[in-house]
Chains A and B, each alone.
Chain A
Amino acid sequence: MNTKYTYPFLSLIALLIIFFFVNISLGSVSIPTQEIFKSLIGDINNASWQYIIQDYRLPKAFTAILVGSGLGISGLLMQTLFRNPLAGPFVLGISSGASLGVALVILGSGLFGGVFASLLISKWSIVIAASLGSFLVLLAVMIVSSRVRDTMAILIIGLMFGSITSAVVSVLSYFSSAEELQQYIFWGFGSLGNLSWNELFIFFLIYLAGILITISSIKGLNTLLLGENYAKSLGLKLKQSRLIIIIATSLLAGTITAFAGPIAFIGLAIPHMTRQVFHTSNHKILLPAVFLFGAIVMLICDSIAQLPTSDYTLPINAITSLVGAPVVIWLLTRKRKMFF
């Protein structure tokens, strides 16, 4: 029954491998293709090339894979949970929650002052603040949405949370120094290339936890396709499943935002792009498909952001919006209805 998706899956895996190599081949320093393959097996003479590939481009490519697949999957989770094709980590205010957490740490640290500030501003406190912020905002959206049944209202509530957080961020920026502000704005551009192997490892562990939780709720996610009352009548523990899905989403979207900054549109667009190829709602098929699609699109976006052969790197957040927004518009105009 699932054999009809064998070819799409094989071609996606092939594309993932191709774009992985394209991604590590491109950058501000041009390195011959042969040398890139050599450096992967550690057989290269040029030390700086070796460094660029092993300690910069490889972790960046892996980060891109984690970010793209993780955001895609958290978008899929949100769309199923909220029964709304427009849901996604960005629209529902999860990213703004993470932004608020980070803003509080970076911009608010001045208010605490002294030793405490330098303690607060470490990478890990940013990670924790972002995860916590996204979890709290998602929880708030969830609590409010359990009272309103209209899913459009939930989206508007998500947007409201977004504007509340951006207002708080403005207030904080008004009181903070230029350096702090710059640090926050740079975080807001999004970046895939900032992670060392150690940080990538921690990122991967949390990501893995989110993915494992997601896999464990595949059955519940499929049941939720019928709506909450039907899901309950089929024996689903509704509150528990909801909470688990929220935790998985905030682990994924929260850590990604923490490590790579707020990255727009991937979470919303990837599940829809996937459904254009895989005509199904079955999460057993959609989940791996979204993983592959997200990873591929992110690798492509990152390759574009590098502006190959130039010295500039564009903010990844801008590229994903530039790619993602037209895709969503195209999808909406092509089929008047968005099924999920």
Chain B
Amino acid sequence: MKNEQQHIVLETKNLSVGYTSKKRANVIADSINIALQKGQLIGLVGANGIGKSTLLRTLTTVQKPLQGDIFINSKSITDYTTVELAKQLSLVLTEQIASKNLSVFELVALGRQPYTNWVGNLSDNDLKIIEQALLHTNIIALRDKKCFELSDGQLQKVMIARALAQDTDLIILDEPTTHLDMYHKAYILKLLQKLAKETGKTILFSSHEIDLAIQLCDTIIVMSSTEVISGSPCQLIANGTFNTLFPEDLIAFDQSTGSFKVKK
């Protein structure tokens, strides 16, 4: 499947993100130039408060970039209408869904909204895609359960299935592994890796699970206070990029194991 000419799904050019308050720009990160390839799993890592969420919020049009451009499939995101964009980009957010009275099937079916008619009726094709999304995420058995009956890990799978049903080239997940135990953290990220491979979708997620990301991602984007670097996990380890992630007083990156160790 490896082509030399990879297809770029998401690209940023000279992007700078942050907030404007009282007419003054508060830049959180600038000169961000990243390109996400089709079918890859990409992890976004960085210390707390470094601006991972701000970057994701900007990429998902929740907030405007201070400068620079974002392209999805070579078209600037500002040129998409909301419905068109919904067919390119789906999200899994950290926020809870408003109504937990929805059944799993209903929730996943809502992913078809950009494609359905004015009253939201599901066509046979919609139903087929929903079934596939349930199958890919191993939640067929849960389909008639209500969301309030699910564990955090199950709910996260359902939210991923919903994003799959939206049938977009790009899926962005904001910290999909928080609140999960060690097993489910690995399970969810492994599932994302499988989905990227099997469905050819580009999946970008932010996470604090750096060692898992190193093991599973095709590309890692490292945000530090000075710059944003992306590369394959091996490259980044070789360059010593992970050493710049955190202050050096407490933990250090061990290149041989690919994980952080507490200093003794």
Contact = CB atoms under 8 A, between A and B. Distances in A.
Contact of A222 (B62, B90, B95, B120): B120
B99 A219 contact: no
A234 B110 contact: yes
A223 B100 contact: no
B110 A225 contact: yes
A279 B102 CA distance: 9
Given A219-B119, A233-B91, A237-B82, 17 more contacts: A219-B116, A219-B120, A222-B113, A223-B113, A225-B97, A233-B89, A234-B111, A234-B113, A235-B84, A235-B113, A280-B106, A282-B106, A284-B120, A339-B99, A339-B100, A339-B148, A340-B99
Nearest to B163: A233
A222 B101 CA distance: 12
A80 B101 CA distance: 12
B114 A235 contact: yes
Contacts of A222: 110, 113, 120
A235 B83 contact: yes
B166 interface: yes
A218 interface: yes
Interface of A: 80, 83, 215-216, 218-219, 222-227, 229-230, 232-237, 275, 279-282, 284, 337, 339-340
Contact of B106 (A83, A233, A237, A281): A281
B93 interface: yes
Contacts of A223: 110, 113
A233 B99 CA distance: 17
A226 B97 contact: yes
A281 B102 contact: yes
16 contacts: A216-B118, A219-B118, A226-B107, A227-B97, A227-B98, A234-B110, A234-B111, A235-B81, A235-B83, A237-B82, A280-B103, A281-B106, A339-B99, A339-B100, A339-B101, A340-B99
Given A219-B113, A222-B110, A223-B113, A284 B101 contact: no
Contacts of A216: 118
A214 to B, nearest CB: 12
A227 B107 CA distance: 12
Nearest to A81: B98
Nearest to B107: A226
A239 to B, nearest CB: 11
A235 B85 contact: yes
B60 A233 contact: yes
A225 B102 contact: yes
A222 B166 CA distance: 15
B86 interface: yes
Contacts of A237: 82
A226 B110 CA distance: 9
Contacts of B226: none
A233 B97 CA distance: 13
Contacts of A280: 101, 103, 106
Contacts of B119: 215, 218-219, 284
A103 B82 CA distance: 43
A224 B123 CA distance: 21
Contacts of B89: 233
A234 B112 CA distance: 8
B96 interface: yes
Contacts of B116: 219
A218 B91 contact: no
